[in-house]
Chains A and B, each alone.
Chain A
Amino acid sequence: MNNREFIVRRIAQEFKDGDVVNLGIGMPTLAVDYIPDHVQIMLQAENGILGVGPKAAKAEENIDCIDSGGSFVTTVAGACFFDSAVSFSIIRGGHVDITVLGALEVDEQGNLASWMIPGKKVPGMGGAMDLVVGAKRVIIAMDHVSKDGQPKIVKACTLPLTAVHVVNTIVTEMAVIEVIPGQGLMLMEIAPGLTVEDVQKATGAELWISPDLKAIAV
């Protein structure tokens, strides 16, 4: 199992029956493949769908049914469509239970940097700022360290923020970490074969260790 699959398998365990979930483009969308059979979630696409289904077969591709990444999708029974103002009212208004997205940096206060690298990459924030402010729970799916080995979980974000005090849970290939408001980062679960020291060494902020520390089981 590669890191991405490991991460999204663990994230899929967070979904409860009936949850409204918005999955960011890229790794987060892969979580749909690992949702337990007894759990049914309603997937939101911020361009205007509640009830996104599997990708559309070639013959059924319809430009009036795309997800927020522009992919052709189907809808599930009970789905509905709406315009962008309604879609973001759903998001901002607290009607989305969980949003899962990637990050460049997360810090110990739950601040999130995910949308730009000054001078390098400015694709725009799209719906990310609305999603992390409005969703009831924000789960970050990311590699524990950057491509050049630097911690992505830090004491204070250095990149431009997406929002302040919004991240609830961070899931990486090494650990599951909860942001405890006013306290900091709590190590909840750890990948099989790793020690607490391994995780701490790859993390740029101090970790509190949960009294119920467990191994990640996926």
Chain B
Amino acid sequence: MINKLISAEDAVKRVKDGDTVMVGGFLAGGHPEELVRALVETQSAGQLSLISNDTGTPELSIYKLVQSGRVKHIYASYIGSNPETGRLLMTKEAEVNLYPQGTLAEKIRAGGAGLGGVLTPVGVGTIVEEGKRKLDIEGREYLLELPLHANVALIRAHKADEAGNLVIDGSSRNFNFVMAMAADYVVAEVDTYVKLGEIDPNHVNVPGILIDAIVKVGNTHE
């Protein structure tokens, strides 16, 4: 079995200039803080595209990433919690694309699920429909929303086994599940790392085949 356990510093070396990076989480819940901190502090890839539900809060390292000038495109749903993202939008220092939250989740899901896009009624009649194809399906209008894919996804889970199977607790599942499917290289930050067979298959939230690297944080042992 391939050993997927690596350091945060090694994991984020995979991010190169011009890459698209997905960061899981909803505000601080399920946010891979150590991975993002390593991305901010230990390497310097620039011209990045960042895909994140909310781009976090000022307490999180993702705030520093947005502030660093290394991010040129942002795809998010809600940015009211990160004033720096709002500033980049206003000054046009970065291109900030906002999507309805369910649309953002489905665009990422489509990217990982081999779909050419999704049709959603959400956004019809609003500025969200600008530049998008609109289709009439049995008398109702839908927007065609195209898939999102990333070079690297940084996600958070509670527990991983050696195969990369993940258990994510509570409301921290959020975007971590869809992002695990939608990137070429997926790193999971976990509290707990266990041997093969120690996670009941009934309790696996994310299949291990989707996970390329595991970074263990904290001192939790089982």
Using a CB–CB distance below 8 Å, which chain A residues touch chain B? 45-49, 62-68, 70, 81-85, 87-89, 91-92, 111, 122-130, 133-134, 160-164
Knowing A129-B122, A163-B126, say if A84 contacts B78 (CB, 8 Å): no
14 examples of A-B residue contacts, CB within 8 angstroms: A47-B29, A48-B26, A49-B170, A83-B177, A83-B178, A84-B26, A88-B105, A122-B98, A125-B78, A127-B78, A127-B100, A134-B102, A161-B127, A162-B126
Which residues of chain B have C-beta atoms less than 8 A from A123's C-beta? 78-80, 86
In the complex, the answer to whether A48 meets B80 with C-beta atoms within 8 Å is no
> In the complex, what residue of chain A is closest to B101 when comparing beta carbons?
A127
In the complex, the answer to whether A124 meets B76 with C-beta atoms within 8 Å is yes
- Closest CB in chain B relative to A195 CB, distance in Å: 35
Which residues of chain B have C-beta atoms less than 8 A from A130's C-beta? 100-103, 122
Q: In the assembly, what is the distance between CA of A67 and CA of B125, in Å?
A: 29
> In the complex, what residue of chain A is closest to B141 when comparing beta carbons?
A164
Of A70, A133, A160, the contact of B28 (CB 8 Å cutoff):
A70
Query: Total number of A-B contacts with CB less than 8 angstroms?
Result: 146
Which residues of chain A have C-beta atoms less than 8 A from B26's C-beta? 47-48, 66, 68, 70, 84
Q: In the assembly, what is the distance between CA of A81 and CA of B127, in Å?
A: 32
In the complex, the answer to whether A84 meets B175 with C-beta atoms within 8 Å is yes
- Closest CB in chain A relative to B137 CB, distance in Å: 14
Q: In the assembly, what is the distance between CA of A82 and CA of B120, in Å?
A: 20
Of A68, A111, A127, the contact of B102 (CB 8 Å cutoff):
A127
Q: In the assembly, what is the distance between CA of A62 and CA of B90, in Å?
A: 34
In the complex, the answer to whether B178 meets A84 with C-beta atoms within 8 Å is yes
Interface membership of chain B positions 116-140, coded 1 if the CB is closer than 8 angstroms to chain A and 0 otherwise = 0000111111111000000000000
In the complex, the answer to whether A45 meets B127 with C-beta atoms within 8 Å is no
In the complex, the answer to whether A83 meets B120 with C-beta atoms within 8 Å is no
> In the complex, what residue of chain B is closest to A123 when comparing beta carbons?
B80
Q: In the assembly, what is the distance between CA of A210 and CA of B103, in Å?
A: 38
Main secondary structure of the interface of A (DSSP, over half): loop
Which residues of chain A have C-beta atoms less than 8 A from B100's C-beta? 125-130
- B189 CB within 8 Å of chain A: no
Q: In the assembly, what is the distance between CA of A164 and CA of B175, in Å?
A: 27
Interface membership of chain B positions 90-120, coded 1 if the CB is closer than 8 angstroms to chain A and 0 otherwise = 1000000011111101101100000000001
- Closest CB in chain A relative to B94 CB, distance in Å: 13
> In the complex, what residue of chain A is closest to B28 when comparing beta carbons?
A63
Q: A82-B173, A83-B205, A130-B103 are in contact. List 10 more A-B contacts (CB 8 A).
A: A48-B26, A84-B101, A84-B105, A92-B121, A122-B79, A122-B98, A124-B54, A130-B122, A160-B127, A161-B125
In the complex, the answer to whether A85 meets B29 with C-beta atoms within 8 Å is no
Q: In the assembly, what is the distance between CA of A83 and CA of B101, in Å?
A: 12
- Closest CB in chain A relative to B134 CB, distance in Å: 13
In the complex, the answer to whether B29 meets A126 with C-beta atoms within 8 Å is no
Q: In the assembly, what is the distance between CA of A122 and CA of B90, in Å?
A: 9
